[in-house]
Amino acid sequence: MECRSSVDIFTEWDIVAARQLGRNEAKSIGFGTVDQARITTAISELARNIYLYAGKGNIKIERTYDNNQYGITIIASDEGPGIADVRKVMNDGYSTSGGLGAGMPGVRRLMDEFNVQSEQGVGTTITAVKWLR
Amino acid sequence: MPKEVEKQYKALVNRYINTKSENDLYAGQKFSRRFIEKEISPEEVIGIHKSALMELFPDAPEDFWHSFDFLIEMMIHYGLALQEHQSLIRKQEELELEMKIAEKVQNTLLKTRVPTFSDLDIGFLTVPAKQMSGDYIYFLSDDSNYASVAVADVIGKGIPAALCMSMIKFGMDNMQKQNSSPHVVLDVVNRIVEESVDDSMFISMFYGKYEVDGSVFSYASAGHEPVLLYKAASNTFIELDAKGLLLGVQPNATYEERSVVLDEGDFIAMMTDGVTETRTEDGFIDDEIIKEILTTVKDESAQKIADTVYQQLGEMQNFHLHDDFSIVIFKKGYKN
């Protein structure tokens, strides 16, 4: 955790700000164009979920170093209603937004590590990591 | 990303740019299979393409490369959709495997021993429309005094019907030791079904019992199709039906029991609606067709009669069954 920055999510504009922050960080860590796009899409999806379901929350971007490997960590947290059935939202074909969102399984695929902690009525924290290869 | 693939891709693109030949396009198409095998996603393909071009055309304008970044961004969701699709296909394969196992389990569960009798010839056949059957045929007999058969049809097909059917089996197994009369059997099974089955599931069941003493066939029906009795003496068919609600509708339903005497050459055809409601291109078949088929084979063995009905009705619908198809024949007389 050498570097940390964050964006509060209130409006759709903040989603763009979170994307920009993530892309800059990914670029400076040394991720290629394709991985930058993947990381940014993951941030976008997580920020959108906050905007749509929790109303407000926060996206943190961290530079990660572990086991001689550099990586990027995204922490999306909110104090929204929480996810009733985490297993269900992780299933393919289940999209709460009903739109063309990649949803949680998409974010998991775009990143290397993925963790959801959610408590109903308390909020949700999602942590996702991608390692530089 | 495998560097080797990138190199090969660059060589292929370069060759095509120089030759513009169909042959090189074909090579590219074949090469794309390797991308798929290696699970290289669409956005990665664009990435590989971009790097190849950057090496081949180092002097191209900067804006041109930025357009590729835009395209990569565009492809991310396509890549996810593809992965989701692949994962769903894998899930489907798992389900199909499970279905195969379930089918085997059901076949073991469905096993029933055809009673052997000197003066009653028994034949039967049951064919599921899908992998799992909702029809159930079960014989009970002591091989000397009586032979009983249950012909049940769970309304609906597939897994729910199959699950429901296994319960009837347990109900029937409980009665194995007792030589119960048909209305008692339906009474008991009805209570089991009513207690343990979802309200949306209905089962029709016919229960027939042949007793050597007096050659009497007694029967009861829980909303099942009437069965056909062929009388050899008059060369006519009589429909046998008895009053009774479908199983699982009312806990205290009562079932009427009736009986007929079988004479030499008489036979009874018990069927499920997969037989009587055979559908052809012109709609449902006429009941008379089944009687006609039965008449042509009236002198054959019980099994031959059952097989012929399936063969001929099957042909009419090109063996594309719409419903589970079961038929049981009880024929009075020595075996052929």
* Interval B222-247: pLDDT, tens: 999 899 999 999 999 999 999 999 99
Tell me, yes or no, if the two domains B3-92 and B112-332 fold the same way.
no
The predicted pLDDT at position B49 comes to 96
pLDDT at B210 over 80: yes
Inter-chain residue contact A33 with B47, CB threshold 8 Å: yes
Mean pLDDT of B149-156: 86
Q: In terms of C-beta density within 10 A (0-12 exposed, 13-18 middle, 19 or more buried), how is residue A15 classed?
A: buried
Report pLDDT for B334: 59
Residue A12 amino acid letter: E
CA distances (Å), B282 to each of A60, B271, B286, in order?
A: 67, 22, 11
d(C-alpha A125, C-alpha B190), whole Å: 52
Q: Which domain holds residue A28?
A: 3-131
Burial track B234-262 (b if 16+ CB lie within 10 A, e otherwise): eeebeebebebbbbbeeeebebebebbeb
Contacts of A92 in chain B (CB under 8 A): 84, 87-88, 91
DSSP H helices in B111-218? 158-174, 182-196
Side-chain half-sphere exposure of A61, counting CA atoms within 13 A: 25
User: Does the beta-carbon distance from B88 to A110 stay under 8 Å?
Assistant: no
Q: What is the DSSP string of B46-96?
A: HHHHHHHHHHH-TTS-HHHHHHHHHHHHHHHHHHHHHHHHHHHHHHHHHHH
For residues A83 and A121, the answer to whether their CB atoms sit within 8 Å is: no
pLDDT reported for residue A77: 96
Give pLDDT, residue A1: 43
* B95 neighbourhood in chain A, CB within 8 Å: none
Q: Is the pLDDT of residue B43 over 90?
A: yes
Secondary structure (3-state) at A89: helix
Q: Where are the beta strands (DSSP E) in chain B?
A: 120-127, 135-141, 146-154, 203-211, 216-222, 227-231, 236-240, 258-261, 267-271, 279-280, 283-284, 325-332
Report residue B52 as tokens.
């190849």
Per-residue confidence at B29, pLDDT binned at 50, 70, 90? very high
Whole-angstrom Cα distance, residue B276 to residue B294?
Answer: 13
- Residue pair A92/B84 in contact (Cβ under 8 Å)? The answer is yes
Which CATH number goes with the domain that contains A100? 3.30.565.10
Residues of A with Cβ-Cβ distance to B77 under 8 angstroms: 41, 100, 102, 106
Does the distance separating the beta carbons of B72 and A34 come in below 8 Å? yes
Mean pLDDT estimate for chain B: 88
From residue B239, how far is each of B44, B112, B331 by CA, in Å?
70, 26, 16
Overall average pLDDT of the B291-316 stretch = 91
Helix (H) and strand (E) counts in chain A: 4, 5
Which pLDDT band holds residue B336 (cuts at 50, 70, 90)? very low
Ordered by start, the domain boundaries in chain B are: 3-92, 112-332
Mean pLDDT of B83-97: 91
The CATH class of B112-332 is: alpha beta
Q: For residue B322, what pLDDT is reported? A: 79
| pLDDT tens for each residue of B45-61 | 999 999 999 999 999 99
| pLDDT classification of A4: cutoffs 50, 70, 90 | low
pLDDT of A74 = 97
pLDDT at A94: 58
Is a pLDDT exceeding 70 seen at residue B187?
A: yes
Determine which of B40, B80, B85 to mutate to test the interface with A (most A C-beta atoms within 10 Å): B80
CA–CA distance, B94 with A86 (Å, rounded to integer): 22
Query: Taking 90 as the threshold, does the pLDDT of residue A61 lie above it?
Result: yes
Q: What is the least distance, in Å, from the CA of B52 to any CA of chain A?
A: 14
Rounded Cα distance, B14 and B69, in Å: 21
The tally of domains found in chain A comes to 1
B80 vs A contacts (CB less than 8 Å): 102, 106, 109-110
ipTM: 0.83
Angstrom CA distances, B293 to A15, A39, B163, B263, B276, stand at 73, 70, 33, 21, 12
Give B-chain residues touching A42 at CB under 8 angstroms: none
Q: Please judge whether B72 and A37 are an interchain contact, meaning their C-beta atoms are less than 8 angstroms apart.
A: yes
Give, in words, the CATH class of B3-92: mainly alpha
Q: Is B95 on the interface with A (CB under 8 A)?
A: no
Q: Mean pLDDT lowest for which of A24-38, A52-66, B110-124, B219-233?
A: B110-124
Examine the pLDDT at A65 and tell me if it is beyond 90.
yes
Q: Is B154 a residue whose pLDDT tops 90?
A: no
In angstroms, the separation between the Cα of residue A76 and the nearest Cα of chain B is 20
Nearest Cβ partner for A102 among B68, B72, B77: B77
pLDDT of B183 higher than 80: yes
**Better pLDDT: A26 or B108:** A26
Between CA B260 and CA B256 the distance in angstroms is 14
Tell me the per-residue pLDDT of B94-142, one tens digit each, with 9 for 90 and over.
Answer: 999 988 888 888 888 878 888 888 889 999 999 888 777 888 899 988 8
